[in-house]
Amino acid sequence: MSDFRAIRAKIAALESGTRAQAGVLPFGDASLDARLPGGGLPLGRWHEIVGVGLEAETSAAPAAFAALMARPLARRGEAVWVLRRDDLWAPGLAGLGFPPERLIQVCARDEAETLMVMEDALTTVGVSAVFGEVEDVDLTAGRRLQLACEKRGGTGFVIRRRPFGGAGLKAAAGSVATTRWCVKPALSEPAAGDFGLGAPRYHVELQRCRGGRTGAWILEADQAYSWEASDVAYPLRLVAELGDRELAPAQSAQARAA
């Protein structure tokens, strides 16, 4: 009787779409984490990251943001990055604090092979994060990625990219991704007394979130983060929270003169 009940519970869980929880990865800011189910980026699922304009080809800002989000996962296992254009610069990732010794790069021939390698990597023991650069993920491929994530609790990051240029990215007709982020670079500010470029900043928009709420923020890479130090440290910090604001009424000439 107990076995019968266990089987029924498994069937009900599959039919209702519930998943075994693999935990969350918080950003460390209450206003941002409150938008995400469980108070952080859900693990054991896959997430979609897109860019705008030229970023659809170069994918510099989306790739950097994905690496920063996944950086704490490098403490837990290996990271596999599947790409079609062999232009991932490991020293750049190291500059963001991502440990290159935990990185495995795979150059795939086409979209189908990229998604296939992602599935295999997500179901491999010892792999905690898998990145894949693809132009599109249809519903069937998305469900296959999700099943692969659930098998061992790995987390996937799909970076939508057209690595060889051409027409812009197609608008997603539907997706089973848990979250969808739109990322573009933002102006950085050097610390007081410093010269040169400051810490990288990103204009980040959470466009879709299953079980959560959308929002927009400017986030900055925490360059003082040490991935070996603690699970409590956060690789991104909130600079400003963005939202829809009505334009302030124009001041009169007399008021400006005063």
Domains of the chain: 18-243 (3.40.50.300)
Q: Cα–Cα distance between 143 and 131 in angstroms, integer?
A: 16
Is 222:236 a contact under the CB 8 Å cutoff? yes
pLDDT at 201 (0 to 100): 93
> How high is the pLDDT of residue 241?
82
Query: If DSSP codes are grouped into helix, strand and coil, which group holds residue 256?
Result: helix
Q: What is the pLDDT along the chain (258 residues), one digit of tens a residue?
A: 455 555 554 544 444 344 445 799 999 999 899 999 999 999 999 999 999 888 888 899 999 999 999 999 988 899 999 999 988 988 889 888 898 899 999 999 999 999 999 999 999 999 999 999 999 999 999 999 999 999 999 999 999 998 876 665 565 556 789 999 999 999 888 766 666 678 899 999 999 999 999 999 999 998 665 555 545 578 999 998 876 443 334 444 444 454
Give the 3-state secondary structure percentages of the chain, helix then strand then coil, rounded to 5: 30, 25, 45
Q: How many residues are present in the chain?
A: 258
Angle 93-99-102 from CA coordinates, rounded to 5°: 115
* Residue 55: per-residue pLDDT: 87
On the 0-12 / 13-18 / 19+ scale of CB atoms within 10 A, 226 is exposed
Asked if 80 contacts 186 with a C-beta cutoff of 8 angstroms, the reply is no
According to the model, what pLDDT value does residue 4 have? 53
pLDDT of residue 252: 43
Give residue 18's pLDDT. Answer: 44
Cα gap 194→210, rounded to integer Å? 41
Q: How far apart are the first and last CA of the chain?
A: 84
Give every CB contact of residue 104 below 8 A, 6+ residues apart in sequence. Answer: 78, 79, 80, 81, 121
Tokens of 243: 């939202």
